[in-house]
């Protein structure tokens, strides 16, 4: 008579495997990339070109050598945030900096909002690291100005405000960064 081999009960192993799988799915975070919020420039028709006031545009260019220029002047990355802040804020109503338009904003009242737009252009060969550093510096400039307005009107930093007050501060200090399609300046000699 042949001996029967005892079987291994795997029912409980399946339960344990299911519990472990569930645990790891629930405790791990899924990286959802949100991207960088930017506004595309309008199609350059003659009518649009006539409407653009040159003093309202800060041209930031990153070339194929990873050099940063602001309105055709070479700057270092640590200078970019301050240049952008001065441009957006125009604290002394400099006629070479953006026009300010008085707008009525909920919770703030009448506020002089900058019409300035930062135009960002980069080369196809620009390193990703420099590109992200430039993006970060421009965003820091806007965030610092939002904090300044937030502290002045509400006594708190921008990130600590509720949604309605944050919306008011966003209207006072809009993030006006327009990013153009990457160019290939390495072949043009620029």
Sheet with 68-70: strands ordered across: 73-75, 68-70, 57-62, 117-122, 177-179
Taking the mean position of all CA atoms in its chain, how far away is CA 55? Answer: 22
The tokens of 142 are what?
């806007």
Per residue in 88-139, pLDDT tens?
A: 999 888 988 999 999 999 999 999 999 999 999 998 888 989 999 999 999 9
How high does pLDDT run on average in the chain?
A: 85
Per-residue pLDDT band for 188 (boundaries 50, 70, 90) equals low
pLDDT at 109: 94
Return the percentage of the chain with pLDDT > 70, whole number: 85
pLDDT at 190: 47
pTM for the whole structure: 0.71
What are the C-alpha distances in Å from 162 to residues 37, 44, 110, 159? 21, 38, 20, 8
């Amino acid at each position: 008579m042949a001996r029967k081999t005892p079987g291994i009960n795997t029912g409980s192993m399946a339960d344990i495997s299911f519990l472990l799988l569930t645990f790891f799915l629930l405790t791990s975070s899924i990286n959802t990339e949100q991207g960088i919020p930017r506004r595309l420039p309008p199609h350059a028709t003659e009518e649009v070109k006539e409407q653009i006031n040159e003093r309202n545009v800060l041209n930031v260019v990153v070339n194929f050598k990873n050099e940063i220029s602001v309105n055709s002047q070479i700057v270092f990355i640590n200078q970019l945030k301050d240049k952008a802040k001065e441009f957006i804020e125009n604290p002394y109503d400099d006629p070479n900096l953006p026009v300010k338009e008085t707008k009525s904003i909920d919770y703030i009242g009448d506020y002089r909002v900058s019409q300035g737009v930062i135009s960002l252009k980069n080369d196809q060969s620009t390193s990703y690291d420099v590109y992200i550093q430039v993006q970060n510096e421009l965003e820091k400039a806007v965030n610092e100005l939002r904090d300044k307005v937030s502290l002045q009107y509400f006594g708190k930093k921008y990130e600590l405000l509720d949604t309605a007050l944050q919306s008011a501060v966003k209207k006072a200090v809009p993030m006006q960064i327009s990013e153009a399609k990457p160019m290939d300046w390495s072949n043009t000699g620029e």
